[in-house]
Structure 1
Amino acid sequence: MKSLFPLALLLLLVACSGGSLEGVQTFDYRGGDHRSGSLVYAETPPVGGPHNALWQNCGVYDQPLYNEYAVHSLEHGAVWVTYRPDLPASEVTALKELVDGRSYTLLSPYEGLSSPVVMSAWNAQLAVDSARDERLKLFLDKYEQGATAPERGAACSGGYGGTR
């Protein structure tokens, strides 16, 4: 009987290699561009670019957020979990459970999403059809306080706490 050790080792190496996460789109924005007023973004929701000088406090919101504050939180290493406002309550509960205990996440409804749930980090985005998609946790693990954030570790509290 052949040993499964070589196969298990190969799977472990692939899992730990930091390879690409299926379905993630990546972008190339630089940080530090603070502006005031309403801004236009190429992605929905945005994944980087100019933003307000004040960041959005990380947390769970039941109303939409201003892009300009949330993008600043992404620059600090936050992951913004957005969902269609008509997402079933059970799916919203699953998203709340997913971000529970994480200090660098935003959760909010968002009008006009291409998919029921869209997860955004600085320069990365994943759109999925269900709050129970296993890639959501993998995205959080990779991008919350991840290497793509220009100012990771900067505050995600003490900023703007309002909604639109």
Structure 2
Amino acid sequence: MTDEPADTTTIAFVCVQNAGRSQMAYAFAQRERERQGLRGEIALVTGGTRPADQVHPAVVDAMDDIGIDITDRTPREVGVDDLRESEYVITMGCSAADVCPAGWGGESRDWDLDDPDDQPPATVARIRDEIERRVGALFDEVAAD
């Protein structure tokens, strides 16, 4: 459930484990929402269909390298209600089909990104930078609507 006003646009970032790509996307989205002054207009959700026990350490390090601290993040399960209340569901190269509610009217996009788990730091940084770019473009699009 969201505590945002009724005219709020909700964006969900979903992955299987919620331990890498979706955590990075969520952190970039939080930053972008602040940068664009959209706190009351955009609500954010992140979760996984089968969440891991912790965010991948390489992802924490890659985000720390650019000044974003996600050490306190814990993967969480995304549920049907999270998605039902979302206008956009962004998956990261994995599917949320097993939790997408029947009759859901939102827009689903798959960014088809490589999984950063067990990747070398340069690869994780490349994935991180692509996520940052896509989040910025998504916010520009949503803010223009």
Q: Per residue, is there more helix in 1 or in 2?
A: 2
The TM-score with structure 1 as length reference comes to 0.29
Structure showing greater radius of gyration is 1
